[in-house]
């Protein structure tokens, strides 16, 4: 059931249909503002004379639709959005196979798919580096990564910098205020021209702790040194809170937190431990 808005003003975005009374099989009642129709957006009904009714509706713009959905507002249809994490998909849509997830290709792919939003990660898809031209490298947090043929846009972690509290004292937290971290966000703002929603992506604190410790060492520390996990969460949270603030300041529309919490068969930690540590 959609409720009409009789006082809604006409504009170029509205469409006009005129139906004969005998054909108004969609109406519950001829003289009511409730109508059974597919979701078309905001409706206006005008009784232009005893023999016909005019129906007006406005199709929402992509960004308007997505933000309305986030705010539980009225929609003309369900917004379209997905994480574009396939090099094959990018190649088929843009004719280019990207080595990294970058704003230019992501925005182009989102428009060609008819999506209402696009995700752009803070500092690029994790891990952040200005150049990733080698197969094995160490990121700014100290985690060692390896490029594989099956892990994209994030490579596969193969070695972790923190195993004990002594290791934590040696870790230098990266600087979230480096201006270049926002380059992809700026590019997306320029390319989307306010037509679709830009979602800024940040890594969740638990995921970053996993990248710093590895799941095996983290699981042992749950019992041997739980405060180590708590302290690590505080450090990673400080970084990503600042990252979120900087993306908001530059003008993104929403924020998504990438947080890997489970296997196919169950969570990495018990619900009680997640409540305690995260």
Mean pLDDT for each consecutive 10-residue tract of the chain (278 residues)? Answer: 38 40 37 42 55 63 95 92 92 91 94 96 63 78 87 89 90 89 95 97 91 93 93 92 95 93 89 88
Q: Three-class SS of residue 85?
A: coil
Q: Under a CB-based contact definition with an 8 Å cutoff, are residues 221 and 276 in contact?
A: no
What is the spatial distance between Cα 124 and Cα 25, in angstroms, rounded to a whole number? 53
For CATH 3.20.20.210, the residue range(s) in the chain are 62-277
Q: Under a CB-based contact definition with an 8 Å cutoff, are residues 161 and 167 in contact?
A: yes
Q: What's the pTM value of the predicted model, to 2 decimals?
A: 0.77
What is the spatial distance between Cα 211 and Cα 157, in angstroms, rounded to a whole number? 7
- 162 CB neighbour count, 10 Å cutoff: 24
Structure token pair of residue 100: 């990294």
What is the spatial distance between Cα 221 and Cα 210, in angstroms, rounded to a whole number? 12
Q: Under a CB-based contact definition with an 8 Å cutoff, are residues 243 and 122 in contact?
A: yes
Q: Three-class SS of residue 153?
A: coil
- 168 CB neighbour count, 10 Å cutoff: 17
Q: Under a CB-based contact definition with an 8 Å cutoff, are residues 206 and 277 in contact?
A: yes
pLDDT at 148: 84
- For 62-277, CATH number? 3.20.20.210
pLDDT at 124: 56
Q: Would you call 187 exposed, middle or buried from its count of C-beta atoms within 10 A (0-12, 13-18, 19+)?
A: middle
3-state helix, strand, coil split of the chain in percent (to 5) is: 35, 20, 45
pLDDT at 89: 93
Structure token pair of residue 211: 């990248």
Residue in the block written with tokens 């196919």: 264
Residue in the block written with tokens 């947080």: 259
pLDDT at 192: 97
pLDDT at 134: 78
């Amino acid at each position: 059931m959609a409720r009409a808005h009789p006082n809604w003003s006409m504009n170029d975005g509205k469409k006009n249909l005129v139906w004969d009374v005998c054909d108004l099989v969609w109406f519950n009642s001829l003289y009511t503002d409730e109508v059974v129709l597919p979701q078309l957006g905001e409706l206006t009904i005008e009784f232009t004379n005893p023999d016909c009714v005019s129906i007006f509706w406005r199709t929402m713009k992509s960004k308007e639709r997505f933000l309305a959905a986030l705010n539980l507002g009225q929609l003309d249809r369900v917004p379209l959005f997905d994480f574009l994490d396939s090099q094959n998909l990018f190649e088929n849509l843009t004719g280019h196979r990207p080595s990294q997830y970058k704003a230019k290709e992501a925005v182009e792919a989102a428009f060609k798919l008819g999506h209402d939003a696009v995700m752009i990660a803070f500092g690029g898809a994790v891990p952040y580096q200005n150049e990733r031209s080698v197969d094995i490298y160490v990121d700014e947090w100290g985690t060692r990564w390896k490029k594989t043929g099956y892990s994209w846009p994030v490579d596969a972690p193969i070695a972790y910098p923190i195993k004990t509290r002594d290791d934590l004292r040696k870790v230098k937290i990266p600087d979230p205020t480096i201006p270049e971290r926002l380059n992809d966000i700026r590019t997306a703002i320029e390319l989307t021209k306010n037509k679709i929603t830009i979602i800024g992506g940040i890594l969740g604190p638990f995921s970053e702790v996993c990248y710093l410790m590895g799941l095996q060492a983290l699981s042992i520390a749950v019992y041997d040194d739980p405060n180590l996990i708590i302290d690590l969460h505080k450090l990673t949270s400080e970084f990503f809170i600042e990252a979120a603030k900087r993306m908001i300041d530059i003008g993104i529309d929403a924020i998504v937190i990438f947080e890997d919490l489970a296997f196919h068969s169950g969570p990495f930690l018990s619900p009680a431990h997640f409540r305690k540590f995260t």
